[in-house]
Amino acid sequence: MVTVYSVASIKGGVGKTTVAENLGVLLARAGRKVLLVDADLAMGGLTTVLGVGERPVTLHDLLAGRGEPEKAVYEIHGVHLLPSGPTISGFLRADPTKLKEVLDELGKDYDFVLIDTPPGISKYSLMPLKLCDEVLVVVTPDLAATDAAARLEAITELVGAKVRGVIVNRVKEQSFLDKLLKRKSRAREIIQQRLKAQVLGAVPEDPAVVESANLRRPVVLLKPKSAASRGFRALAAALA
């Protein structure tokens, strides 16, 4: 049985793409078959950080009814990636309402399909929420991000999606990180009450993440001993 997760947030820059990338690689390392889907069709951030260069067929093409689906899947770091296309014209041709059809066909042989989604509220961000089994909400520990996550919660209810839990990323204070990682703490309870979902994981702010993005290699592979990698491993273990 395949489980389809959408990694979502409404707010940009909180770490959706980084979570999808590292979680995907770790689940694959744990022996699971993983398809990463770059559904941020305008930016294609996941495709960029994974360093997939030349890609003759992309999700843009499939959503425009062009190209063979099997040729749009690329293997990298043990995962399969369905990349976004590089051009604006490709983005404009892509019809997000076809995403379900594409993933029904391409996603069926995997254990996990992880969809990286765009920020904002649009047909592009709503489609992955509608078709997934569960939503992984990414949030940073600030008011704007938790507000956005609370809005996302309301949207998921509206479209009938189920929230699996919340990942708190870019945590700057070690003491706050420690509290979030405890099974029971006031900090954890506040977030869980506000967002009506359990905290699945917490990842610190870590310069190793930025370095890894620049080198086009997931931080869990480039710097496995880094604090961020430890956070991602605990998260993957919670979901595997």
Ligand X SMILES: Nc1ncnc2c1ncn2[C@@H]1O[C@H](COP(=O)(O)OP(=O)(O)O)[C@@H](O)[C@H]1O
In the complex, the residues that contact Mg ion under the rule CB under 5 A are 16-17, 45
Among 144, 210, 215, 237, binds ligand X (CB under 6 A): 210
If one asks whether residue 217 binds ligand X (CB under 6 A), the answer comes out as: no
Give me the helices (H) in 75-218, please: 88-93, 99-106, 123-131, 143-159, 174-181, 186-195, 207-215
Smaller CB separation from Mg ion, 18 or 226: 18
Smaller CB separation from ligand X, 134 or 205: 205
Show the tokens assigned to 160.
């009938």
Distance CA 209, CA 96 (A): 30
* Binding string, residues 53-92; x marks residues near ligand X by CB under 6 A: ----------------------------------------
If one asks whether residue 179 binds ligand X (CB under 6 A), the answer comes out as: no
Smaller CB separation from ligand X, 48 or 58: 48
Q: Binding to ligand X (CB under 6 A): which residues in 7-46?
A: 9, 12-18, 45
Residue 112: phi and psi, rounded to 5, are -135, 135
133 burial class (0-12, 13-18, 19+ CB within 10 angstroms)?
middle
Pairing of strands 134-139, 163-171: parallel
Q: Binding to ligand X (CB under 6 A): which residues in 147-176?
A: 169-170
If one asks whether residue 215 binds ligand X (CB under 6 A), the answer comes out as: no
> Which partner, ligand X, Mg ion, none, binds residue 14 by CB below 5 to 8 Å per kind?
ligand X
Distance CA 57, CA 99 (A): 15
Distance CA 32, CA 78 (A): 10
Cβ of residue 156: shortest distance to ligand X, in angstroms? 17
Q: Report helix, strand or coil for 1.
A: coil
Total of chain residues touching ligand X, rule CB under 6 A? 18
Cβ of residue 18: shortest distance to Mg ion, in angstroms? 8
Please answer whether residues 7 and 128 qualify as being in contact, where contact means their C-beta atoms are separated by less than 8 angstroms: no
Stretch that binds ligand X, among 51-59, 94-102, 151-159, 204-212 (CB under 6 A): 204-212
81 burial class (0-12, 13-18, 19+ CB within 10 angstroms)?
buried
If one asks whether residue 95 binds ligand X (CB under 6 A), the answer comes out as: no
Q: Would you give the DSSP letter of residue 69?
A: G
Among 136, 228, 235, 239, binds ligand X (CB under 6 A): 228
**Contacting positions for ligand X (CB under 6 A):** 9, 12-18, 45, 169-170, 203, 205-206, 209-210, 213, 228
